[in-house]
Structure formats: C-alpha cells, structure tokens
Amino acid sequence: MSEGYDALRQGAAWLDLDARGRILARGRDRARLLHAITSNEVKKMVPGDSCYAFLLSPQGRIQADLHLLCLADHFLIDTEPELREKVHQHIRRYIIADQVELEDVTAQTASIGVEGPSTADLQLPAGDHTVAPFTITGQPGFRLYCPAESKAALVQTLESMGVKPATAADARLVRIENGKPLYGEDIRETTLPQETQQMQAVSFNKGCYLGQEIVERIRAQGRVNKKLERVELEGSQPPASGTKLQVEGRDAEITSAIYSPHFGKVIAMAYVRAA
C-alpha cells in the first residue's frame, strides 16, 4: 500500500486536481439559467452554498455532472477534465436573452483536493484560496481553489501540516472502495439519474428544468430496470469494464473494479438489474 493510499484511508492526503474544468458564470441571470438547465436547486443558493448536479438532455440522459459553488458575484462550475468543453458549450447553447457570461479559468487557477478522515482537524491559515465541500474519493474532506501562482505555497503549507501527497491511482482505489461513481467510467451519456442512485444531484421541488419530464415520469413509475451499485466479488483479479456476471442472482455489468488492499477483496461498481 502506498503512503498516499494510507493517508486517504487513515489520515489526510492532498490531490492535484488542476486537470478538472473550472468555469465561472457571471451576470444577473446566472442563477436563473443554471437553475433551468441543471437537475438541482440553484435559485435559492446564497454565497457559500454548493451542490452536485447533472446536466441532462431533453430525453433525461446525463450529459455531464458538475459541482456548483455559489460566490458573491459568480458561480464556480467544477467538472471532469474531459467534460470541460462540453459543459461550456452546453450552457452557452441555452444563453439566449440571458445576461450571463462564461469564463473558463482552468489555466489561471489551481485545484487541490484535501481528503481523508483527519482533514476535519486541519486549520488552514487565511489566504487567497476558496474552500468547497467537494471530494473525489467520498472520504471526508474539501477542495481548495486558488490562483495558479499560489499553488506551490499552498501545497507547502498542507505538507507542513502533515498532509501527504496522493496520486490519481490512490484516489481511484479509495473512490471505488467507497462506491463513489465517476462520470465517464460509471456514469455515461445514456444513463438516467435514477440509475446512478446519486439522487442528491436532483431536486424534485424546483419546477421545470431541462430533462425534468423524464425524471418525473420515472419517479411516477417508481422504478428503473437497473441501478449502479457497489459490489464485492470473490478472488483477487478485478474484472474488466463491460464484464457481465451475476450478483445475488441478478444480471450485472461491471463499470469499474479494483482489488482493495483495505478490504482484501475485489470491489466493483456495476449496473445491477433491479430486483
């Protein structure tokens, strides 16, 4: 087991998340627009509030997932590296008469994940960073955003406090151990919100939004045919993505799998046929 993996599981680790997309939405209609095209409640957000949300197609399929952070004069939109341009274009497509400006600030800013059970004990000094309650692994923790030129000093501060560096491979192990899905690996363009079981991304009280009709129709029916689940498998060899097998007598398709040093077995994410 690596030092970074151990820190994520038992202490505090930092992750370089610079590759993730960071887009600012400014303008007086920013909350109204984001409310109308995302699956979660945005209009009621006040500075300091944050949420996880989906961008859906009119057919209710998940086109992207994102984290929203409400700040005094803008929203920060944080998304997967490969979704950066797609999210920007998706939002821009719906700016018609709205007074909204989008700015991709990925290159000018840095993003650092600080994750692990000891992160609650960290007392960061004041600085030019913004803190958000987002995590990659599903462990306790938070995300720091700062100007790119301030990153090295912020990392130095974290390491002086005993926070260990962890790699993307370390984070993937812990993420799958925790059953936290990743867009592009576990959540796909064809996936429906209810199939993910990540319903913290959906508000059922917000009124109309893009893709709502399908989401509400599924809720009225009361079920979907398959759901994304964390499953434990025998053996030490993780099956490849796309592998079909049986989980408790139900058909399942693996999306991601790892051998877990912590649990001593294979942990996987899989779409399992609903009982």
Tens of pLDDT, residue by residue over 244-264, are 999 989 999 999 999 999 999
Shared-domain flag, residues 66 and 156: yes
Tens-digit pLDDT profile for residues 228-244 = 999 999 889 999 999 99
* DSSP, residue by residue, 103-118: EE-TTTEEEEEEESTT
| CB count in 10 Å sphere of residue 173 | 25
Q: What is the DSSP letter of 124?
A: P
Q: Residue 92's closest CA among 33, 21, 22?
A: 33
Do 44 and 115 belong to one domain?
yes
pLDDT higher than 90, residue 221: no
Count of beta carbons in the 10 Å neighbourhood of residue 176: 26
Output the pLDDT for position 85.
Answer: 97
Q: How far apart are CA 174 and CA 177, in angstroms?
A: 5
pLDDT of residue 234: 86
Domain containing residue 140: CATH number: 3.30.1360.120
How far, in Å, CA of 267 to CA of 125, rounded? 38
Is 232 in the same domain as 169? Answer: no
In a domain, 202, yes or no: no
Residue 43 covered by a domain: yes
Task: At 159, list the tokens.
Answer: 């390491």
One domain, residues 140 and 34: yes
Q: What's the rounded mean pLDDT across residues 131-136?
A: 97
Residue 275 confidence (pLDDT): 76
pLDDT of residue 263: 94
HSE-CB of 18 using CA atoms within 13 angstroms: 14
Report how far Cα 88 is from the mean position of its chain's Cα atoms. 17
Number of domains in the chain: 2
Per-chain mean pLDDT for the chain: 96
Residue 1 pLDDT level (bands cut at 50, 70, 90): confident
Q: What tokens were used for 143?
A: 């995300």
94 with 153, same domain? yes
Let me know whether 123 and 233 are in one domain.
no
User: In terms of residue numbers, what domain contains 125?
Assistant: 3-174
> Rounded to whole angstroms, how far apart are CA atoms 47 and 75?
9
DSSP state letters, 214-266: HHHHHHHHT--SEEEEEEEESSSSPPPTT-EEEETTEEEEEEEEEEETTTTEE
Q: Which pLDDT score, from 0 to 100, does residue 222 have?
A: 78
Extract the tokens encoding 175. 């993420």
**Rounded Cα gap, residues 74 and 30, in angstroms:** 8
Q: Quick check: 274 pLDDT over 90?
A: no
Of 146, 174, 202, which marks where a domain is finished?
Answer: 174
131 plus 250 within the same structural domain:
no
51 within some domain: yes
Q: Which strand (E) or helix (H) includes residue 66? A: strand 62-70
